[in-house]
Amino acid sequence: MAGQANQEPDLKTADPELYSLIRKEDARQKDSIRLIASENYASRAVLEATGTSLTNKYAEGYPGRRYYEGMDFVDPIEELAIRRAKALFGADHANVQPYSGSPANLAALLALCEPGDTILGMSLPAGGHLTHGWKISATGIYYHAVQYGVRESDNLMDMDQVRSLAREHRPKLIWAGHSAYPRTLDFAAFAEIAKEVGAYLAADIAHISGLVAGGVHPSPVPHADVVTTTTHKTLRGPRGGLILCRKKHRKAINKAVFPGLQGGPHNHSTAAKAVAFHEALQPEFKAYARQIIANAKALAEQLTARGLELVTGGTDNHLMLVNLTNRGLGGRHAAKVLNDCGVELNANAIPFDPRKPFDPSGLRIGVPSITSRGMTEAHMADVARFIDEGLQGAARVDPEGYTAAADFVAPLRARVQEFCGAFPAPGIA
């Protein structure tokens, strides 16, 4: 009887309001075609690791050098994650403690640069990331940031401009990476430029780390001083960050992460990262990475066949950018309508975009999530059809007066839900 009295309530009992919202989110993820390029489905094993007693434990410091006792199992867990990350990417050193990709990028700068140093990165409007020196980010506030872009003629990365800017400004560090660029990055070319001007090379592979791990995108590890990434996106792990570096930068990187930027690591996330690295080391993950590329190319072809204009004309990786100008649509309205129809993606600026950043001219579309659900090239025609029909509907309604009650929304959403029913959502009961 005493044991029953002390039994703790589960989430459904303890907080039915929150439980209901989580179950609704589960249903949304199962019933939607999720095309946000930075999202994915984590496996049941990854999700299970995130919900363990490890969340109860503080672990400031590093294995063997902690500020708290009780590290009997936390240290081996972090060491396991480190070993697996190093094996997966062939790196000299791995720091698995960053809370996400942005702190990982800040740690790279803190380790290798001084405030006020010049850094060179891809501009946000061209497809770069905020933390590569954009003016509203700490990386653009505390460092003298110079930005490179893409050519206006074909929207491809302009390596001649990168070299010219590097020679002119002599940056302390050069970023190679993006958040919305659909083509392969030439890390060897970046390394050559960095060597010429005496700069560190930092590669941010947050979007493509799963493709690198799967062998379908060149690795920056042989070329870069530091490599940063998130552990979700194409890598299919928990929300978190990872830093890989050369042996000579190990102490500086570790010191920058803790105590430079963070307190104790999130041990439950560290454990889930270890699970994800283990999964990515399996042969099945390479097949998954190959399928991402195949799906992206097939979807790009299907969208083009439907008259949609793709930035750079296609894709080499997991994402593509659609220029909606020829449809007379703004990206924000289009994304809202598609979401109501069960197709989840995001509005995104295109290079040299004439529209405002909050309502840009483009859409960013990624295939990691639908690939995780088992969709293949054969299903991309259906996905493209749903996108096209949603955009046609969006063009027929006034953005100011639009509501999800529009006549085309419910029928399209029902078809999307039926389509999704054939593809189980990993990790979700």
Q: Residues of 56-95 as b/e, b for ≥16 C-beta within 10 angstroms?
A: ebebebbeeebeeeebeebbebbebbbebbbebbebebbb
Angle between helices 409-420 and 331-340 (to 10 degrees): 60
Q: Is 251 part of the annotated catalytic residue set?
A: no
What whole-number distance in Å separates Cα of residue 321 and Cα of residue 309?
9
What whole-number distance in Å separates Cα of residue 12 and Cα of residue 168?
61
Given the residues 31, 78, 158, 204, the one annotated as active site: 204
What whole-number distance in Å separates Cα of residue 130 and Cα of residue 108?
15
H helix count then E strand count, the chain: 17, 15
Q: Is 58 part of the annotated catalytic residue set?
A: yes
Provide the residue type at 346 as one letter: N
Rg (CA), the chain: 22
Cα–Cα distances (Å) from 261 to 62, 99, 199, 362, in that order, read 14, 10, 23, 35
Q: What angle do CA 180, 329, 340 make, to 5 degrees?
A: 80
Q: Is 60 part of the annotated catalytic residue set?
A: yes
Q: What is the largest CA-CA distance in the chain?
A: 77
Q: Is 239 part of the annotated catalytic residue set?
A: yes
Given the residues 66, 86, 151, 239, the one annotated as active site: 239
Given the residues 228, 230, 231, 234, the one annotated as active site: 230
What are the respective helix, strand and coil percentages of the chain, to the nearest 5?
50, 15, 40
Which segments within 261-301 are labelled E, that is strand?
A: none
Q: Is 230 part of the annotated catalytic residue set?
A: yes
Q: Which residues are catalytic?
A: 58, 60, 204, 230, 233, 239
